[in-house]
Chain A
């Protein structure tokens, strides 16, 4: 692609020496994007937007927050009560964490449904899983900072998990704590890392976008672009579509921030941390509940921890577990159904995670855990072999030109070629 001609002489002068404007023109303006992306493709840019919101509000909160066990709780209340618009910044940051996870979870399930993790996008997908892990670590440490009861006891429970590691477990735990209990040293290092990790996330997001722009977006049909007629420039088509999605998202987000700011939180975190009083039910934030359910589903502590981490780690090898050459679930009649079963399974795990581990909750939690892993380790490999995909369209343009979704006559052949 030829370098664009810039009218502004200053822009031209800079671009000749440092081609940032050419770069922006290529990657944000003319970047060819499949023309059939649906609204599920909005969630990546929304998550990127949310990352920026979290960093900006976080920097402002850090200007008023005091990372000390005696002052942390009160300094957060001080922000809410006395800092001008501090309540707004704090509620945006607090609810922003939840919404960041909502966006990213939808983004991930979109990738699962349309097979966005398949060749040549494996590294793009793996970088995404790295971002998820970094987000989880950041969110966990951020939740500790207000130093409420759930902050303290959540930190105690989760850091204690590492004591399950044979031989070195106890050492790792006191190394994480910086002492012999969750205390001031723990709070300080969590604060330090909570400030650092978001910038690491930004770095991985850059790599994620570089990988994305190498082969471009997947699309709802899951087939490659066959030529110019299949793609449209990113700007203005997807910039305006993303802007509209952003407006819709912000409206919903603001309804929570302004009218139900505590709905997604836990009331116990409005009680200052007290190492001598254990809350009756220690539950993590909602976005960790499915993993918490997997942890508790297994009676052995070490195996429970392994299973919990494996539940995320399995995503790293997903591109090699699902060997079906067809990406989109639209053309995979059985995968389409097991996909929704997986969604349901994750919701069930989330519900079980929020309930006390007793009675039939335990059994449902175990069944749901088994199904979760069976989906990845049994169902997907088997489907790769036994599922007969429906014929793929020849190109993105074709089903549109052919009038509706009826597969064209040559579709079967094309599907076979696609598979070859």
Chain B
């Protein structure tokens, strides 16, 4: 992930001998391969088409088990959906609301101001439906894993036959990149599992990369604002610092 490289370069420039990433990586599986992401680097931005494909994969595949409680349907307008399309997406969901004037809870179609509806009413229900394993909420998964979107894509494409002699539980699968290699999520992606509206061939690799892209957006919807403002601020500061240096030289010149 290039952002980590930027961080490491900045830290090295500062003479900081700390590598927090190294601490968290200890004990995990093999390092996920680094991929090129359009949102990496100081000018990085999201690829709207990839975000929409990724959202489609989330909605049609992941959302069967994984919630995204920090996402609102209004956020869909940020991935390039029109307001009408986002409203239609929201209306597909049933939101429990209430109590009404009779004191009863009721279901209504979702609105833009609603959070993504989770597939299970609570964690215990989620565990009961998944053989005791809790499918994690995906809102921040691109940030709470050291390798971020690289990790998500690696796990989604990292299923393989277990090595000779490795005992697997009944509901477990072998995954090269999952910590401990025993993952309770069966391989979620198969070629042509979804049909992309833009005609992109839905290979496992394509879907994994697209949904990772979308999950990075979900973890930090304001990433593009951050990059755009950052470039302006740093250019401003460089000019200002240059002027201040010239002024310092001028002020101090009468001393020497």
Residues of A within 8 A of B (CB): 35, 74, 77, 80-81, 87-88, 91, 102, 232, 236-237, 240-241, 243-244, 247-248, 250-252, 254-271, 280-281, 283, 286, 289, 347, 350-351, 354-356
Contacts and interface: CB of A to CB of B under 8 A. Distances in A.
Interface in B188-236: 219-222, 225-227, 229-231, 233-234
A252 B251 CA distance: 25
Contact of A351 (B17, B140, B226): B17
A244 B244 contact: yes
A258 B255 contact: no
A263 B23 contact: no
B125 interface: no
Contact of A259 (B24, B26, B27, B227): B227
Contact of A355 (B26, B230, B244): B26
A262 B146 CA distance: 10
Given A251-B241, A255-B234, A355 B140 contact: no
B128 interface: no
Given A252-B13, A255-B234, 8 more contacts: A35-B255, A87-B225, A244-B244, A247-B244, A250-B241, A263-B8, A271-B140, A281-B26
A347 B15 CA distance: 10
**A35, A258, A281, A347: residue with the most chain B Cβ atoms closer than 10 Å:** A258
Q: Nearest 4 A-B pairs (CB), nearest first? A: A258-B230, A263-B7, A247-B241, A270-B144
Contacts of B27: 280-281, 356
Given A240-B244, A251-B238, A289 B18 contact: yes
B255 A267 contact: no
A73 to B, nearest CB: 10
A351 B18 CA distance: 6
A84 B230 CA distance: 16
Contact of A286 (B10, B20, B140, B231): B20
Given A243-B244, A271-B140, A280-B27, A87 B226 contact: yes
Contacts of A266: 20, 23-24
B182 interface: no
A248 B242 CA distance: 9
A286 B20 CA distance: 7
A283 B20 contact: yes
A35 B252 CA distance: 10
Given A88-B229, A256-B10, A102 B16 contact: yes
A254 B252 contact: no
Given A80-B220, A252-B10, A286 B18 contact: yes
8 contacts: A81-B221, A247-B240, A247-B244, A258-B231, A265-B20, A351-B17, A354-B23, A356-B27
Interface in B167-186: none
Given A237-B255, A268-B24, A263 B234 contact: no
Given A267-B24, A267-B144, A270-B140, A81 B222 contact: yes
B38 interface: no
B7 to A, nearest CB: 3
Contacts of A286: 16, 18, 20
Nearest to B71: A81
B3 interface: yes
Nearest to B8: A263
A223 B244 CA distance: 30
Given A248-B241, A267-B146, A281-B27, A255 B18 contact: no
A258 B241 contact: no
